[in-house]
Each structure stands twice: as structure tokens, then as C-alpha cells.
């Protein structure tokens, strides 16, 4: 067990199930308190994912991870990663207890601060944990912040989040779907095939293979409005992955003011997580094997 425990304030019971609520302040990473077991968990996950990801993850992701100096030997110190990251793109990691309220999260991103959970999962959670921990945040999200284009996209997303939050719940939901299907579960065309760049995929052994090699999911070309209408799964592998051509495409498509788009989308029905609709650029139509038929968010 970790010497310290995250300060969970309460659990909210919502239509998405039990949602943990954490203290929202910035915390210093209690690096000296990590146990040998914590470091071993990092080492196991790091080595396992790197082996799977060479040839599967975007080269930009793998190169950035190397450039940051992350290694399996020990849980990295945020202060050391920050020296490299700040010099590269001006981003900075901050330690947090866990998932933040939306507006706090957006405000951090808008100011080029990425919140990273300070605690790591326990050995019995090696293959699956339902909320972000240090491994997901650090291994999954932080490397691409070294990439100048992706670094700008994340900041623009944060600013867009502050704006969407002020517009209302529907706008926020549209924007959250964009984050889900790009930052968390995005695929990119690269080297004549598909590669992974989404953090939710790269930090998961099972989904790293599923996202590229399974016949079950749809793989569909990136389309901003289509994504903003598409529900998603938080409890299973994704039924649909969206594929970008490049980070430039992502940035260009998301540069315009979303306000008129939110207004237009307000009248349109949402699309089921596993649906293929007219106009989709279909790379692969999923077989749907093993899909649960309820539970889209
Ligand atoms: N252009 C978006 C807006 O006006 C902001 C944004 C940029 C959102 C990048 C997501 C990603 O709201
Ligand atoms: Co994440």
C-alpha cells in the first residue's frame, strides 16, 4: 500500500454510476513516500506498454516519451520532467488528487498546466482501473505535450472548455465527446497504416491491441460534427475509433469558433457509440462482436 492515500472528499451518485470527488488543490508529488511496490507497478506497466506500443503508437508519442527521459526504473519525479517539458513547449505538470471538476481542469489546460494524479494503482488493478491514476496520466497524456502541435491543441481545448462551460451543459457534452474521441481514444494514419495516439489506449494493454487489431470496432475518419454527436462508453473498449490524418488536421478543424456549431448541434439527435451513419469515411465497419447493447454515455 502507498504510505499516503488520496484525499477523496465524497462519492457522487450520478447516472454514470459512482463518481469520486477529490480535493481540487495542487499537491506536491510525495515522491519519497512511494513504496517499492509502487515503483514496481510503474516498472511493470511501463515495460509492458512500451513493448506493445513500438509499431502501434504514433512515432511522435514514442519519440516524445524518450525525449522526456521516462524510464521503467522508478516513478518519474514531476520536477525533473518539468525541466524538460517547460523547455520544450512551456507546459508544466502539476500534482493533483484525482479527477477534477470540469472548470478547474479547463483552467489548468488553458494555462498550459497538466494535472497528473500523484498516486499509482495497486497490483490487483494492473490491467484495469476505472479512474485515472499516475500511470494513465503520466505515461498516457504527458509525452505528447512535448509535441508543439499537440501542446497547442491541448491549450486551445482548455480555452474552448471554459467557453463551453459558460454556454451550457449541451455544449460541454459536445466538447467532452471531442476530447474522448481524440485525446483519449484517437487513432492517426501513419506509415501506411493506423497508429494510436489516444492516452486511454496507450495506457491500456488490452485496448492497445483491440483498437488496432480487433474486428469488433468501427474505425471512421475524423469528422468534428459527427464526433460531437457521438455517445461513448466509459466501461468497455470503444465501439468506434476516429482516425485523424495528422495533428494539423485536428488543429485546423477545431480552430473555428464553436459557438454556432453548438447552437446547430442542439437540435440534432445524438448517435449511438457503435453506429455507422451516412457520410462516414469508413476504414473498417466493426463486426460488433462482444458489444454490450446498453450503457452509452
Ligand atoms: N475553437 C474552439 C471554440 O471556439 C476551441 C477548441 C479548440 C476546442 C481546440 C477544442 C479544441 O470553442
Ligand atoms: Co485521460
Q: How far apart are CA 47 and CA 42, in angstroms?
A: 8
Identify the residue whose C-alpha is closest to ligand 1 atom 11: 157
Q: How far apart are CA 207 and CA 230, in angstroms?
A: 19
Backbone angles phi, psi at 198, to 5 degrees: -70, 135
Q: Is 112 in the pocket of ligand 1 (CB under 6 A)?
A: no
Catalytic residues: 136, 141, 184, 203
pTM: 0.94
Choose which residue among 149, 158, 251, 258 to substitute to test ligand 1 binding: the one with the highest number of ligand atoms within 8 A of its C-beta.
Answer: 258
Q: Is 141 in the pocket of ligand 1 (CB under 6 A)?
A: no
Q: Is the dihedral of CA 212, 215, 217, 221 positive or negative?
A: positive
Distance 157 CA to ligand 2 centre (A): 14
Q: What is the 8-class DSSP label of residue 27?
A: B
Choose which residue among 175, 178, 225, 254 to substitute to test ligand 1 binding: the one with the highest number of ligand atoms within 8 A of its C-beta.
Answer: 254
Tens place of pLDDT per residue across the chain (297 aa):
445 666 666 666 665 566 677 788 899 999 999 999 999 999 999 999 999 999 999 999 999 999 999 999 999 999 999 999 999 999 999 999 998 999 999 999 999 999 999 999 999 999 998 889 999 999 999 999 999 999 999 999 999 999 999 999 999 999 999 999 999 999 999 999 999 999 999 999 999 999 999 999 999 999 999 999 999 998 899 999 999 999 999 999 999 999 999 999 999 999 999 999 999 999 999 999 999 888 888
Helical spans, DSSP H, in the chain = 36-53, 59-68, 78-89, 102-110, 134, 148-167, 169-179, 199-202, 205-213, 224-228, 247-254, 259-265
Q: Is 163 in the pocket of ligand 1 (CB under 6 A)?
A: yes
Q: Is 242 in the pocket of ligand 1 (CB under 6 A)?
A: no
Q: How far apart are CA 201 and CA 256, in angstroms?
A: 28
Residue 294 CA: distances (Å) to CA of 14, 152, 200, 220, 272:
16, 36, 21, 21, 10
Give me the residues paired with residue 230 across strands.
271
Amino acid at each position: 500500500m502507498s504510505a499516503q492515500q488520496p484525499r477523496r472528499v465524497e462519492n457522487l451518485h450520478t447516472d454514470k454510476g459512482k463518481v469520486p470527488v477529490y480535493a481540487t488543490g495542487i499537491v506536491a508529488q510525495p515522491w519519497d513516500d512511494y513504496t517499492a511496490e509502487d515503483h514496481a507497478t510503474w516498472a511493470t506497466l511501463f515495460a509492458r506498454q512500451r513493448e506493445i506500443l513500438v509499431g502501434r503508437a504514433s512515432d511522435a508519442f514514442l519519440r516524445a516519451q524518450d525525449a522526456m527521459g521516462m524510464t521503467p526504473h522508478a516513478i518519474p519525479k514531476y520536477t525533473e520532467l518539468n525541466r524538460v517539458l517547460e523547455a520544450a513547449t512551456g507546459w508544466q505538470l502539476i500534482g493533483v488528487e484525482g479527477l477534477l471538476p470540469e472548470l478547474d481542469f479547463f483552467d489548468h489546460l488553458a494555462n498550459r498546466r497538466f494535472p497528473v494524479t500523484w498516486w499509482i494503482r495497486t497490483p490487483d488493478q494492473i490491467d484495469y482501473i476505472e479512474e485515472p491514476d499516475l500511470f494513465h496520466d503520466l505515461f498516457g497524456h504527458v509525452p505528447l505535450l512535448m509535441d508543439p502541435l499537440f501542446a497547442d491543441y491541448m491549450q486551445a481545448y482548455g480555452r474552448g472548455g471554459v467557453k463551453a462551460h459558460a454556454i451550457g451543459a449541451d455544449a460541454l457534452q459536445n466538447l467532452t465527446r471531442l476530447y474522448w474521441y481524440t485525446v483519449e481514444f484517437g487513432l492517426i494514419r501513419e506509415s501506411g497504416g493506423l497508429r494510436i495516439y489516444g492516452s486511454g489506449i496507450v495506457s491500456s494493454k488490452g485496448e492497445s491491441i483491440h483498437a488496432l487489431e480487433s474486428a469488433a470496432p468501427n474505425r471512421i475518419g475524423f469528422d468534428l460534427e459527427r464526433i460531437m454527436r457521438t455517445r461513448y462508453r466509459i466501461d468497455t473498449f470503444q465501439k468506434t475509433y476516429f482516425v485523424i490524418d495528422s495533428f494539423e488536421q485536428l488543429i485546423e478543424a477545431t480552430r473555428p469558433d464553436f459557438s454556432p456549431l453548438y447552437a446547430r448541434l442542439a437540435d440534432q439527435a445524438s448517435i449511438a457509440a457503435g453506429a455507422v451513419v451516412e457520410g462516414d469515411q469508413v476504414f473498417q465497419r466493426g463486426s460488433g462482436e462482444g458489444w454490450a447493447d446498453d450503457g452509452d454515455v
